[in-house]
Each structure stands twice: as structure tokens, then as C-alpha cells.
Copies of this chain bind each other. A is one copy, B any other.
Amino acid sequence: MEKITSIQNKYVREVRELSRKARARRQSGFFVAEGERLFREIPPELIAEVFLADSFSGTLPEDAGKYEKQAFHTFICAADATQMGLNACGIKSKHAKARLFRVSDSIMEAMSDTKTSQGILAVCRMKEEGLPAGSLYLVLENIQDPGNLGTIFRSAEAAGADGIILNRGCVDPYSPKVVRSTMGSLFRVPFLRVSEISDAIERVKEEGARVLAADLGADESVYRHDLRKPSAFLIGNEANGLSPEALRLADSRMRIPMKGKIDSLNAASAATILLFEALRQRL
């Protein structure tokens, strides 16, 4: 295992760039995933570099048995073994090309996007984007809050959505806060980034889905729609809702019934309600 001692090290600088700059991510095709729990969710083939703080021991070796088949254990052991010229864990690894580094705790803090680093951080390749054939999609227009986007990924996975399309105005799904708040759903829910909202809508129509716009001003309630049919929910920006263009291109508009003196739901809440109403109708 290599030891990094300087904050000026090129790998350290690379991580900081990837954390901070969407452009650096876009140009390189790599991003940063932090934290032990999230690390275990990364498909091993996407892991390019792993950085461990000196103080990091993780759940190894005490819990090694428990996580033997999980990426965490596999990778750490395999990388260690490869670099030490051993195969200490007896696991054949596809990841011999991934690199493992130890860094001081202060360098880890400098690399970390969080206030208190958990001591483990990985540089990962982006997965291939695409939208599989299916019957439940989300189309997101200008979703800006990283926590909202992360929550939407989690809800989409839990409700069995087949994919998410994001237009260019959405926050980068590979930004560190989004990656963290997806809790691993980022790796499992197929998604596709397109430039214009019109491209996004066209794409789900190609899949045969009806495009249903969540709109406070709509007459018909979501609960009156038959969501067993192939459906794509169109969710707009937190402050401004959907654009006139998105509303115009939708096949239908629907509202989520609400009480109280309130003018909108949180965007992730709205997406979650719609996704689970589809799940409920399909049970």
C-alpha cells in the first residue's frame, strides 16, 4: 500500500478537483465517493483508487467474515494483497489495477467534502448511462438541491422505477453531496443526462410511457390516474416548478391533493408520493 505524505501529491490534488468541480468530473469521467457504508455499495469494477486515513480501521479485520463477499472486503484485501505480492485473503481479484493509498488524517480531512471524514474515500469511474426498457420513469427538470436529488434516487429505487432522466439544469448527480445522499442508489438506478427537457420527454415517450406533469394548478388528482400503465413523472425545480415548455410537452397534468396554507411540497417529497402511488396501484 502506498503512503501519501504531502497535500501536494498529484492524487490528492486530483481528488480535491473531482470533489469541487463538475467540469473536472465531466472531463475525466471520474468522481469521488466517501464513507465506509457507501464504499460497500460501489460496484467493484468502478473503483479506481481508494484512500484510507491512518486512523481508519473500518470493520476489518474484526468483521471480515461478515463482509467477505462484499466489495469493501474484497477490494481492500485484494488491493493489499496485490501490492504486497501476496494473496492474503485467497480472493481472486479483478481490481488489481485499482490503487490503494494510506494518507495522514489531516490530508484525509483536506480531501474530504464532509466536516468529519469517515477515513475512507474512493475515486470511481462513472457508470455507463442509459435508460432501459421499462414502465416507470422520472424526468427531472432543474432539480437544484443535492439532498433532494439524492432522496429522489433512493425513492426511485425503492419504488422500482426503471430509470431517471435529468436535464442539463439539474445538479450534477456525481457531486459529492448527491453521491452521499443517494446511499448507493446512484449505482443501482439507471439514469441518463440530456441537454434539453424536450429531449428528456421525447426519450421516455420512445419507451411508450405517458408523461405526467406534477403541477399544482392541474384539475385532476394523481389518485384518479391509472398509473399501472407505463408512466413517466415530470418533476420541476424546487422554487419555480416545471417550465412552460415541459408542461406543454406533457401528455397530462395532475396535482397532488393538499391541505393547509401551503403552496408546494418539497420536490423530493412530490416525486416520492407519485412513485409510491404508482407502486401501490401496481401491487
Contacts and interface: CB of A to CB of B under 8 A. Distances in A.
Interface string A233-248: 0000000000000000
Interface in A150-181: 151, 154-155, 157-160
B157 A269 contact: no
Interface in A211-254: 221, 223
Given A151-B269, A157-B261, 12 more contacts: A154-B265, A155-B266, A157-B259, A158-B256, A183-B262, A185-B260, A188-B260, A189-B260, A223-B280, A257-B283, A259-B279, A276-B277
Interface of A: 147, 151, 154-155, 157-160, 183-185, 188-189, 221, 223, 256-262, 265-266, 268-269, 272-273, 276-277, 279-280, 283
User: Which secondary structure dominates where chain A touches chain B?
Assistant: helix
Nearest to A158: B258
Contact of A262 (B154, B257, B269): B154
Contacts of A158: 256, 258-260, 262, 265
Query: Which of A154, A157, A258, A276 lies at the interface centre, i.e. has the most chain B CB atoms within 10 A of its CB?
Result: A276
A27 B73 CA distance: 49
